[in-house]
Amino acid sequence: MTTQTMSLGGAINAGLRAAMERDERVILMGEDIGRLGGVFRVTDALQKDFGENRVMDTPLGESGIVGTAVGLVTRGYRPVVEIQFDGFVYPAYDQLVSQVAKLHFRSAGRIRVPLVVRIPFGGGIGAVEHHSESPEAQFVMTAGLKVVSCATPHDAYWMIQQAIESDDPVIFMEPKRRYWDKGEVDTSGPGVDLWSCVVRRRGTDATLIGYGPMVRTCLDAAATAAAEGVELEVIDLRSLSPLDLGPVFESVRRTGRAVVVHEAQRTLGLGAEISARISEECFYSLEAPVQRVTGYDMPYPPSRVENEFLPSVDRILDAVDTAKEF
């Protein structure tokens, strides 16, 4: 085992570097990703080391960036596109859902689309409008796209490489407020398949299910609950499409209670699908209805009050109490 301590953002940088060293067809594209190294410095020094032909600063035009990447895919490249902020992805939404998601199906399998679209997502950084969004459900509901989200530096390092190696288009959701969180990265191997969920903490009294920025919040809630004698199991989904819910069902059948946590708005958020699937598969094991702790059905609010919008340890523990008292 070879381990290094990295930040989550630094681990993505290292993963991109490893993929580019391994395969010269891997190229990076995005606004300010080259000379600046990205607004979050996730691509820092990559243009210096690999050159402007492989790490390209693009014009400010997301639709054009993704459209160009599709053209590069048809010429044998494996582009990795950065969308600078989550709220900037919408001009490229047409390209992603009308072209990228459908090319393989529409061509009867003749055209593969090994394209990765990196999107920093979520709140918690005190940003202005259009800089804090959680659009993951809009991509999850689009057949033909795969969607993943990393929550730890180890996963960030390996998941970006696994996404690049996939022959399918992958929306890679990066929890921007966790970019500076540090952890151990085992560079000798990923340890788990890209499309699998992971149990981050074992427990017996309820199951917390989250992804991306909410995994750490769920773990903090579990630690707080443990001090009061309540043992919460924490599952990191990692892959949002396809969903790996087998371990979730197994957990809920043991604990009898489930709480789904995400920053995105509640109505038609990913928690709705997960809650429905748990109810279908674990109906006779549930001791209480599945609880959801989410953002509210409103745009992300101004930064001064976003902490009231984002799920917190207290809101998660309130949901656990509701489930336990049912």
Average pLDDT, the chain: 96
Strands 232-236 and 291-295: unpaired
What does DSSP assign to residue 269? Answer: S
State how far the Cα of 273 lies from the Cα of 245, in Å rounded to an integer: 11
| Packed helices 214-226 and 313-325: angle between N→C axes, nearest 10 degrees | 60
Task: Please tell me the predicted confidence (pLDDT) of residue 295.
Answer: 97
Tell me 99's DSSP state. Answer: I
Say how many CA atoms lie within 13 Å of 184 toward its Cβ. Answer: 6
131 is catalytic: yes
Give the Å distances, CA to CA, from 234 to 123, 269, 319.
21, 19, 14
Q: Which of 85, 88, 38 is nearest to 62 (CA)?
A: 88
Q: Convert 205-232 to b/e letters by CB count within 10 Å (16 or more is b).
A: bbbbbbbbbbbbbbbebbeebeeeebeb
73 pLDDT exceeds 90? yes
Query: Per residue in 198-213, pLDDT tens?
Result: 999 999 999 999 999 9
Q: pLDDT tens digits for 131-190?
A: 999 999 999 999 999 999 999 999 999 999 999 999 999 999 999 999 999 999 999 988
Please identify which of the residues 104, 130, 131, 154 carries the catalytic annotation: 131
How far apart are alpha carbons 57 and 309 in whole angstroms?
34
CA distance 44 to 3: 21
Residue 215 CA, chain-centre distance (Å), reads 11
pLDDT at 1 over 80: no
The DSSP symbol for 126 reads -
